[in-house]
Structure 1
């Protein structure tokens, strides 16, 4: 494309997917020119990285009075023109979009390119330009559903990848559940209180800390995990606080699964017996727990979810959450004496997998991170695919099966 004497505004909308090439993410858009008085460069800084696969609008204008660069109609830099010297910008070469002169090419989408008020047909030009394709749908539009279990699809130059960093899963499509085998006395501790970022020794640790919840008072939480064991009673999950608030999931002496909440306002913790069966049967079971203020929803395996409600006298705020424990609790603050006496002595022995608490995957962090700031463990913790086996659902008993006719009844 040839466009002589370009010298006015250039609005542009782009979506940038190019990964950063240095330790700092790309947050600067530059506009440079030279009309014979020496090179001039304007820079606009964004508070967030621009390679976020989102659309951004850039407007660059140079006239006889000033030069203006604007990003997303929010951030602007203005540079007055010199009082003396050249003012006319004369260009007689081709217009390059994306790269020129052996530069590293732009990776992403560009649309709505206007020069001097004239919209340039980038799509038609892209059809005959090697390495450029018309349209900006990207690979994630067609294949993003392959990223499972909350994995995020990330555009690549010749394809896509699945980002599993905020999930309890691993693998190319975030479909491989991460499991760990716990011996007697093994525990995982995840600090839910944000630490000082400066204390982190690596960029990976700092990114983990930034993913921690800023607020330590919660009125809702989501907990998902799978387990298999042949031992009871035992402690599966315990979320502590700097107060006497806590949340716990335990296996009782008879193998029954119980959820316990203590948020204040009640004399005794609010407990829910999730199922009447013995779940310490060596089979894999999956538990999904979601609370929004007083409303609690619990799902076991593939059975329908069951709803519960906290009593009116109970508080709804989980105050000053502190740490999450798996397998056993070892805490300096208050711990429910019932938990210590009945469920914490021997600890959990078996497999835990797919553990997710809100946006945190504590077991995966313990198995994947070395000396990470928010997570630690005691005892022997071995990564295992123990949670990968399909769920086994036993037949319903005659007493609870609505389709089973009692053999003792006669018509």
Structure 2
């Protein structure tokens, strides 16, 4: 904006909290007013917060100055709680707790940003010195938890306000972390991050079903791992497969052969699992009932309760085994790591630890021993669905 620029917005409640980012081009100005009165201004290069609740004017000033040359963006947070006020510029906070007095902000006008249409009715102590309109940029203005639309359609009224970015890639053109590329002065293209799509990356495409082609994988880190009870694990998901052999899930870090893990896969179309709780390679647990391949969806639930392992297919108990009745080890310390459909990298190794020493080589070697196959790598499943939403540990 320029020194004659301003925008007005409706009031957003009597409690007041303001957050904004600013880029200033003058050293003495005022750029936020709220009726009679709560004002946030820039004076002689420092931020000032002033408010009057009916009995006196309270003033706070930032400890640090602002780049009045317009070379840096600054973040400002200001507000009041009763009579107490706070002002935070780029993370540096100033607070003031004045003597008891009136605590309600009684305002009747709209809120002004960047300046006011006329200073005739402006309280004399709303700013220091002569009121001067703001020259610079303001973006991401949030008042009482509501982000204001700083545009012609978002404001009640205004004058002499333009696009501060100067290109079609103004602030927040691309949502949710998307990258904006200006193709002309009026057109832009957004490159969206994973799980977002749309012209402005505004549509969520959260994964509901993942397809695997034999050389693909998903790696998942459990954010709640530090608080998990490792003696009890429950994991459930839906899956279908076009192959009779494949690794469905590997739960564990696989840095060494004796690490804890839970492995689930198919061998000759049958469910095959293995669980290691701090000992050497466990004996595979196999269900030789109905085949689980051939494009049919199944629901699988696996429960590890200390040394007892259960598996349910489509709600029916098909595996129940106590893998260590002496309970020498009872916790599945999986390190918060899950692999679905495969592993990060594959190198054709016949013995663990050879080659580059990749931890995924170790996992492939262990899996080949579990399924007792000479395949160079376990083929992945075609599709796994709802595995994260149904994960219960």
Range into which the TM-score falls when normalised by the shorter chain: 0.3 to 0.5
Instruction: Give TM-score, length-normalised by structure 2.
Output: 0.42
Bigger-Rg structure (1/2) = 2
Normalising by structure 1, what TM-score? 0.41
